[in-house]
Structure 1
Amino acid sequence: MAAAATTTPSNTLTMKLLVDSRPLRQRVVFAEAGKDTVDFLFSLLSVPAGTSVKLLGKESMVGCTGNLYSSAERLEDPYVQPDAAKDDILCAAMMPPPAAARPNSWVFPLPEPAPAAPAPAPKKFFNCFYSYYYSGCSRYVAEVSGTRCPSCSNQMSRDANLIGSPSPVAKPERKGFVQGGMVVYTVTDDLVISPMSNVSTIALLNACGVRDFGTLQERTVQIGYKEGLEILKASLQSKTVLTDVFLGKKPPSSMKNGGSTPQLSNGRRHDSHTWRA
């Protein structure tokens, strides 16, 4: 799978899967996720289309987005506006998504922040030497030393102390999109997300035709950069995202692109998974 960045974040997210382990119907029934993971899933909505193509690779895109990307890539300079940059289309900057509370709930790399500009030197103000003696002179303050006082025509060169400057406004802390704390969310195989409840759990088990609870297994998985890309890719191609990504299933043949079926992973991954009966 294509990757656009040379470095990947070290933070990982976790999700608890409930898996139907019947050999012929192995699939994810639903998943249990906390705030950080749900924030990440919602943040996929903010990934620019061009950046998705760059991250996943043109050949893996279903539909015509890959063709649009290739067309912009091949377009020669004489046909592009002089003040237009191809990178604005092909490599749209991925800003911190509003739905993610960094650094806990965003696994894709972001551009390094630009170095902070040095703080400007504080402005100096000057008043007239005679401002202590004449009320007319005390009404004026100048930013340039040596300015003539409108009242007495003397030079305004005495340092004036400015008081009552507004304090810098602190940026609000990014809190993500959904509530955290004790709230737990249900994530279905096709990425329907809702607060978890006993009623919704029973309804999902019934909808999936689960009758024998002995076939259900709990599986804890980690979501890092690689899994994040696979989830993004599967969400654009499949209605069984969690099964495709974490159980190594292939997308349905109806999602073929140019005669080939894109694969999300090569078999099952055991390195970051923990099974519990």
Structure 2
Amino acid sequence: MEKKLSLKLLVNNKSNKVLFGEAGKDFIDFLMSLLALPIGSVIRLLTKQNMVGCLGKLYESVENLSDSYTQPGHNKNFLLNPLMPSIPSCPNPLLLLENRTNSQSKNMYYRCSNSSSHYYVTRIKGSLCPTCKFQMTIEVPYVFLNNIENTVSNGEGGFVKSVVTYMVMDDLVVTPMSTISSIALLNKFNVKDTGVLEEKVVEVGMKEEIH
């Protein structure tokens, strides 16, 4: 079942315009996590045909490049389907990528399969060991000790705290929500009659995230 996030919108029914969104920690964590999205994943999600500029063509060129032209131990998948950087203590990973990650775990590293005395590690399974040139295929899990300590101490992970509600504007400006900020926005939008305002709760899933 697809995971979805809730977002409460304040809508002006008279002008049919969304004034702002009211969001909790889970939505804000997702929104800020977009900044960690690798460009290869962005192209893959938007599709290379719909990508603005020449990046779609570059992505297609890598797709079509024969393995005979790449360095030994390198995999095109590293560029076409890059691993997400590990997000500290984040219990809600990017919904955009939760069903689209490759088979290599983002928290998994690999060491040389020839000898345990070689201490090199890599995030790309099958890379060649710099010492003996054997493939690096032995899994080495990576544990974020600081992140675990933080999660235990405050009971939550992610980027922002859950002690407040956050306001999200249509240009993606995010600020902590308060009565004063809400009133200021109503004045900014020249709302004189609060009777025209309506709260609507929407769910954000894969389709909405891409668009």
User: If the length of structure 2 is used for normalisation, what is the TM-score?
Assistant: 0.67
Once the two structures are superposed, what CA deviation does each residue of 1:212-270 show, in whole Å capped at 9, x if it has no partner?
Answer: 3232221101122222222xxxxxxxxxxxxxxxxxxxxxxxxxxxxxxxxxxxxxxxx
RMSD over aligned CA atoms reads 2.8
| Equivalent runs, 1:107-256 vs 2, <5 Å | 107-108=95-96, 109=98, 111=101, 171-172=148-149, 173=151, 175-181=157-163, 183-230=164-211
1:176 offset after TM fit, Å? 0.7
Paired with 1:201 and 1:85, the residues of 2 have a C-alpha distance of 51
Q: Separation in 1 of the partners of 2:37 and 2:43? A: 10
Q: Distance in 1 between matches of 2:47 and 2:73?
A: 27
Check if 1:102 corresponds to 2:84: no
> Match for 2:20 among 6, 25, 30?
30
Q: Following TM superposition, by how much is the alpha carbon of 1:96 offset from its aligned partner in structure 2, in angstroms? A: 4.6
| Aligned-partner residue type, residue 186 of structure 1 | M
> Aligned letter for 1:76?
S
The aligned residue for residue 18 of structure 1 is: 10
Q: Taking CA–CA contacts closer than 8 Å with sequence separation of 6 or more, which of the two structures ends up with the larger relative contact order?
A: 2
Structure 1 length as normaliser, TM-score?
Answer: 0.52
1:60 corresponds to 2:33: no
Per-residue deviation at 1:195? 0.4
The structural deviation recorded for 1:95 is 4.7
Structure 1 residue runs of 4+, over 6 Å off? none
* 1:42 and 2:32 matched: yes
Contact 1:33 1:187 in 2 (8 A): yes
SS in 2 for 1:199: helix
Between the two proteins, the alignment pairs up a number of residues equal to 165
Judged with a 3 Å threshold, the aligned counterparts in structure 2 of structure 1 residues 17 and 79 are, in CA distance, closer, same or farther, namely: same
CA distance in 1, matches of 2:24, 2:179: 16
Report if aligned partners of 1:96, 1:102 keep a CA contact under 8 Å in 2: no
In the alignment, structure 1 residue 87 sits paired with structure 2 residue 77? yes
Q: Which runs of 5+ in 2 are unaligned?
A: 109-144
Could you tell me how far apart the structure 2 residues matched to 1:36 and 1:19 are? 22
Q: Give percent identity, aligned residues only.
A: 42
- 1:138 maps to none
- Structure 1: segments with no counterpart, 5+ residues: 1-8, 117-168, 231-277
More strand by proportion, 1 or 2?
A: 2
Larger Cα-atom Rg: 1
Alpha-carbon shift at residue 36 of structure 1 (Å): 0.9
* CA distance in structure 2 between the aligned counterparts of 1:206 and 1:80, rounded to whole angstroms: 59
